[in-house]
Amino acid sequence: MEQIYPYAVSKIKAKEINMLTNQNFNQLVEEKSLERIVSIITGKGYNFENITRIENFEFVLENEQQMLYKLIKELIEDEKFIKIFLSKNDYNNIKLILKSKIQNKKYIENLNQGGFIIQENLIKIMESENYDLLDKKMKEAIIEAKLQYEITKNPYVIDCILDKASFEEMKQISLIINNEFIIKYVQNLIDITNIKTFFRIKKIYKNDKVLEIAYIPGGSISLNELKKNLTEDIQNLQGKFGKYNELIEKAINSYDNLDVYCDNYIMEYMKESKLKALTIEPIIAYIYAKETEIRNIRVIFTGKLNNINTEKIKERLREAYV
C-alpha cells in the first residue's frame, strides 16, 4: 500500500497558495521600480529585511531555499527521500571546489548551502582530500574526475563524471523508494540532461567521443540514438525523439532557450501531482516548483539590474506551478 502523508501534503497545499503565478512573474518583469518588485515579492513571503541593497538579493533567495529544505526535512523523515533532492547540490559544490582549485579561484561564497552534507564539513573534506568520509560512489567519482582532468586538462570532464555519479545515485535511491512518480521523474531528468548535452555538443564539439563522456545512462534515450543524430542536419531531428518531439522542435527553432524548454517539460510532469491528494507526489512537485520560483526571481533581478530587455527577461522565465 502506498504511504500517505496527510499532514505534510496539507502543509504544502497551504504554502502553494502563496506562490508566484505566471501572471505575477509577467507583472514583475513589466515593473520599472526595483522597490516595487521587492514589495510584491515580500508580499509572497520573501524576507528582504536583512539586506541594505537590492543588489544583494541573492542572500534573500539563498535564505528562502534553506527554508524550503528545512521544511521538507521536518515534514518527511525518510532520509532517502531528502537525499534524492539534496545530493545534487553536494555534487555541484564538489564540481565548483575542484574547478576553482584548478583555476586558483575563490569558491566559498558561490557554494550552495542546500546540500545533504553540511557545507563546512564538505569544505574540510575537499581541502584535506580525506574522501573516505564520503559515500563510496562519491569518493570514486571525485578521484576519477581528478584523474581524468590530469589526463585531458579539460575541466569539462569534471562536470561529466560528477554529473554521472549524481544521477546514478538519484536513480538508485528512486528504485529503493520504489515510487513510480519519483522513478519517472529521475528518468525524465536524465533524458532532459542528455538532450541538453546533445545539443551543446552538436553546436560546439560535433564529436561523438565527447558525447560518450558526457552521456548519462539510466534514461529512456540511448547513447546510440544520440550518436546517430549528432551529424544530422538540425532540421532533420524533428520526430526522432519520441515523447520529447515537441521539446526538440522548440529547441530547433530557438536553441538559446533550450534550458527553459527543458525545465518547462519537467514542470508539466510535476503538475500531474495535483491529481494526488495524500501521497508524496505533491511534496515532490512543491520542491521543484519552489526551486523554479526562486530561479525565476533570480532571472528577473539579474535582468533588471543589468538593463536587459523586458522581452528577453520573459523568454528566460520558467513556467510557474500555480
- Give the tens place of pLDDT for each residue, 118-132: 999 999 999 999 999
| Cβ-based neighbour number of residue 148 at 10 Å | 17
- Give the tens place of pLDDT for each residue, 257-298: 999 999 999 999 999 998 888 899 999 999 999 999 999 999
Which of 102-111, 145-154, 193-202 is predicted with the least confidence, judged by mean pLDDT? 102-111
Which of 30-34, 196-200, 296-300 is predicted with the least confidence, judged by mean pLDDT? 196-200
Residue 89 has pLDDT above 80, yes or no: yes
Q: Which pLDDT belongs to residue 1?
A: 62
Q: What percent of the chain has pLDDT over 70?
A: 100
Q: Which pLDDT belongs to residue 255?
A: 86
Mean pLDDT across the chain, nearest whole number? 92
- Whole-model pTM: value is 0.92
Q: Please compute the mean of the pLDDT values over residues 162-183 and round it to a whole number.
A: 94
Q: Please compute the mean of the pLDDT values over residues 37-50 and round it to a whole number.
A: 96
Which of 27, 35, 41 lies closest to 54 in space, CA to CA?
A: 35
Q: Which pLDDT belongs to residue 151?
A: 93
Spatial neighbors of 15 by CB under 8 A, at least 6 apart, are 71, 286
The confidence band for 109, taking pLDDT boundaries of 50, 70 and 90, is: confident
Q: What is the H or E stretch that residue 94 is in?
A: helix 79-102
**Residue for cell digits 522513478?**
183
* 232 vs 28, residue with greater confidence: 28
DSSP per-residue letters across 182-213: HHHHHHHHHHHHHHHHHHHHHHHT--HHHHHH
Q: Which pLDDT belongs to residue 98?
A: 94
